[in-house]
């Protein structure tokens, strides 16, 4: 495993596995529960459909300055369990998150979910996650039964994963992510092969069959909906609909960013949290 780069002021602690909800769940931990962090709710980061935890390491580093932070590999990605016939449904992923917090002994935690991870967080809140103190839903796909499709196309995922399994370098990855930096491309080229195709196909299908809008009225935790100005995943009308279904929801747009918000406008991403997690980051 390639560890996140260790800088002089690095907050990376370690990567570890835990058995929760019947599978191996792998996570990277940043910050730790000491100093001022000990008085704040820990943060669990849940990445998107083809983003192993290590690709969110730079976000973990930043959050780790202020919070005890766990960035997780969703089942079928990174170093968490992947197996033929494994349940890759949204409900199973939400139950994983609930069980992970319990296995880590977290009585309270903030959840930050991006894209698929945001949908996982919303479903976990609806099912009932005792440890969830608040949720930041970052640009969740709003597709579902009878709704417009998710704007990304399935062949983009399938073709890039196939190339990664065959052994692609970072220059070849640029065909799929033309605006990314060399460092970002190298990390994705190295780790994309750990995304199980069966898992990704199931999640992509779930974007169009799972109704997350029905989850919203049942959510009792504070929710911040963070959306990208560009990319077309969450449009203004979608934000308005979310707010109508969960009146307490806070909303914020990140300027100049597409769906992969912290890749496009990293500082804007951090600023968008405001003090929602308890302190500015």
**Residue 129, pLDDT score:** 98
Question: What's the confidence (pLDDT) of residue 57?
Answer: 96
Residue ranges per domain, the chain? 12-151+209-273
Q: Which residues are catalytic?
A: 115, 235, 259
Top pLDDT among 10 and 119 is at 119
Half-sphere exposure of 113 (CA within 13 A, CB side): 26
What distance separates the 2 farthest-apart alpha carbons in the chain? 51
Residues 131-184 have pLDDT tens digits of 999 999 999 999 999 999 999 999 999 999 999 999 999 999 999 999 999 999
pLDDT score of 10: 86
Residue written as token pair 């139950």: 95
pTM for this one? Answer: 0.97
Q: Quick check: 128 pLDDT over 60?
A: yes
pLDDT, the chain, mean: 96
pLDDT of residue 1: 45
In the structure encoding, which two tokens stand for residue 110, read together?
Answer: 């903030």
Give CATH superfamily name and number for 12-151+209-273.
Alpha/Beta hydrolase fold, catalytic domain (3.40.50.1820)
- pLDDT at site 8: 54
Identify the pLDDT of residue 7: 53
Q: What pLDDT shows up at residue 150? A: 98
How much is the average pLDDT of 56-63? 97
What's the CA gap between 202 and 89, in Å, rounded?
A: 7
CA atoms of 209 and 106, how far apart (whole Å): 31
Q: Is the pLDDT of residue 6 over 70?
A: no
Contact 224, 181 (CB under 8 A): no
- Average pLDDT, integer, range 35-55: 98
Which percentage of the chain shows pLDDT scores above 90?
Answer: 96
DSSP string, 152-212: S-HHHHHHHHHHHHH---HHHHTTT-TTS-HHHHHHHHHHGGGS-HHHHHHHHHHHHH--G
């Amino acid at each position: 495993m390639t560890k996140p780069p260790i800088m002089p002021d690095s907050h990376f602690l370690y990567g570890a596995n835990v058995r929760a909800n019947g599978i191996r769940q792998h996570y990277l931990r940043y910050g730790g529960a000491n100093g001022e962090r000990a008085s704040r709710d820990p943060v669990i980061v849940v990445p998107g459909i083809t983003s192993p935890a290590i690709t969110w390491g730079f976000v973990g580093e930043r959050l780790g300055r202020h919070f005890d932070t766990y960035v997780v590999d969703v089942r079928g990605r990174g170093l968490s369990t992947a197996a033929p016939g494994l349940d890759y449904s949204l409900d199973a992923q939400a139950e994983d998150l609930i069980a992970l917090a319990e296995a880590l002994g977290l009585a309270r935690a903030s959840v930050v979910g991006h894209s698929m991870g945001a949908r996982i967080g919303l479903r976990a809140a609806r099912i009932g996650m005792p440890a969830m103190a608040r949720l930041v839903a970052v640009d969740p796909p709003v597709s579902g039964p009878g709704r417009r499709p998710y704007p990304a196309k399935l062949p983009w995922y399938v073709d890039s994963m196939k190339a990664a399994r065959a052994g692609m370098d970072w220059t070849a990855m640029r065909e799929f992510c033309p605006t990314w930096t060399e460092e970002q491309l190298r990390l994705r080229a190295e780790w994309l092969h750990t995304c199980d195709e069966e898992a990704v196909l199931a999640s992509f299908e779930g974007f169009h069959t799972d109704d997350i809008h029905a989850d919203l009225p049942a959510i009792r935790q504070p929710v911040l909906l963070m959306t990208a100005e560009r990319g077309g995943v969450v449009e203004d009308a979608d934000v308005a609909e979310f707010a109508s279904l969960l009146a307490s929801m806070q909303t914020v747009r990140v300027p100049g960013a597409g769906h992969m918000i912290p890749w496009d406008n990293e500082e804007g991403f951090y600023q968008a949290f405001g003090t929602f997690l308890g302190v500015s980051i």
